[in-house]
Amino acid sequence: MEFKSNEIKAGVMVLLAAMVFAAFLFAIFGVGWGEKTKNYVIHLEYVGGISEGSLVKFRGMDVGRVTSILLPTSEESRVGLQIEVKDDTPVREDSKAYVTSVGLMSEMHIEISAGSPGSPSLAAGKELGTREVLTYAQLADVFGEMGTGAQVLMEKVTDVFNETNQQRLASMMDNMDGMIKESRQPVVSAADNLDRLSKQLNTLSGSVNDLTKQNINNIDSIMTNLKAATDGTNRLLAELQSSVLDWESLMSSNNQRIIEMIENHRNVSQNMEEFSRIIKEQPWLLIRKDAPPERKMP
């Protein structure tokens, strides 16, 4: 069966179109035939601009795409995303996924951070950690709220500085000017006095320095004598401490003898007291043993 030239050309064009379409799909979705991939799950509060097929980047490089979007459930209030990345993508356990874009006009995509070098690799099928990043739309809402607040603030400031308050403020400024004028002379006088006092203090400081320089030798001699006296005092205290220790040791070793001496002294004192009492009552005992005979009455 013979083919006409037009049919051959048409077939070639169809084949080329199929090849171009396949290359287009490869460029758009970033997947190739037979390429190994791994899947992860992430959960985010806000996924504006993200849809199935959105790019997934690792440190700015295209490594995969979003395969499906999971709506919030009763157990998980955040939006879930199934992502597919190249098998050699170094996703670690402390890597974080977040929504971002390269510029204002570029499409939103999922960015994965590198994580720390010492962190182990995250196994396929696990949940990847996330962090929330404000998008340009959210920033616009924040700035819009700030603009509204600023407008309200300007209105309140305008109300504060109305004509009545402006007059009061002008009156306050006039009063302050009058007070400043009235207190200017005392302030100037106080400043002059302070300047004179400063000069006198400088003069006194110079005199003290001169006196110190003139008597530096005497001061050194006094300090030397004081040091010698201090050393002598320290030696005396050390000797006194040693004497006290010796006295305590002596008292401790002769404690029994001292107790006996005190007891003997107490006995001697009692005997002397008894002897004195007897002599007072019977003084003749000093010259004779017996008492004198009683005198008979005539």
Query: Which whole number is the average pLDDT over 82-108?
Result: 88
Direct distance between the N- and C-terminal alpha carbons of the chain, in angstroms, rounded to an integer: 205
How many CB atoms are located within 10 Å of the residue 75 CB?
A: 5
Asked whether residue 284 is domain-assigned, the answer is: no
Whether the CA torsion 149, 154, 160, 164 is positive or negative: it is: negative
Asked whether residue 172 is domain-assigned, the answer is: no
pLDDT higher than threshold 60 for residue 261:
yes
pLDDT of 254 reads 75
Number of domains in the chain: 1
Least confident of 57-71, 144-158, 169-183: 144-158
Report pLDDT digits (tens) over 15-43: 888 787 777 666 655 545 557 889 999 99
DSSP 178: H
pLDDT higher than threshold 70 for residue 160:
no
Query: Which whole number is the average pLDDT over 89-118?
Result: 87
pLDDT of 1 reads 46
Q: Which pLDDT band, with edges at 50, 70 and 90, does 85 fall under?
A: very high
pLDDT higher than threshold 50 for residue 9:
yes
Average pLDDT, the chain: 79
Asked whether residue 188 is domain-assigned, the answer is: no
Q: Which pLDDT band, with edges at 50, 70 and 90, does 176 fall under?
A: confident
Report pLDDT digits (tens) over 192-230: 788 888 888 888 888 778 777 777 877 778 888 888 888
Asked whether residue 108 is domain-assigned, the answer is: yes
Of 24, 13, 88, 89, give the one whose Cα is nearest residue 58: 89
Of 1, 3, 20, 23, give the one whose Cα is nearest residue 11: 3
pLDDT of 286 reads 64
CA 64 to CA 109: how far, in whole Å?
10
The DSSP code sequence of 205-274 is HHHHHHHHHHTHHHHHHHHHHHHHHHHHHHHHHHHHHHHHHHHHHHHHHTHHHHHHHHHHHHHHHHHHHH
pLDDT of 281 reads 74
Q: Which residue has the higher pLDDT, 141 or 261?
A: 261
Asked whether residue 84 is domain-assigned, the answer is: yes
pLDDT higher than threshold 50 for residue 156:
yes
Range of the domain at 81: 31-133
Least confident of 8-22, 79-93, 256-270, 275-289: 275-289
pLDDT of 158 reads 73
Report pLDDT digits (tens) over 52-82: 999 999 988 999 999 999 898 888 889 999 9
Asked whether residue 261 is domain-assigned, the answer is: no
Query: Which whole number is the average pLDDT over 122-148?
Result: 74
Asked whether residue 99 is domain-assigned, the answer is: yes
Asked whether residue 57 is domain-assigned, the answer is: yes
Question: Whole-prediction pTM value?
Answer: 0.39
Range ranked top by mean pLDDT from 49-53, 102-106, 276-280 = 49-53
**Cβ–Cβ < 8 Å for 93, 119:** yes
**For the chain, where are the alpha helices, taking DSSP H only?**
5-29, 136-160, 163-214, 216-253, 255-281
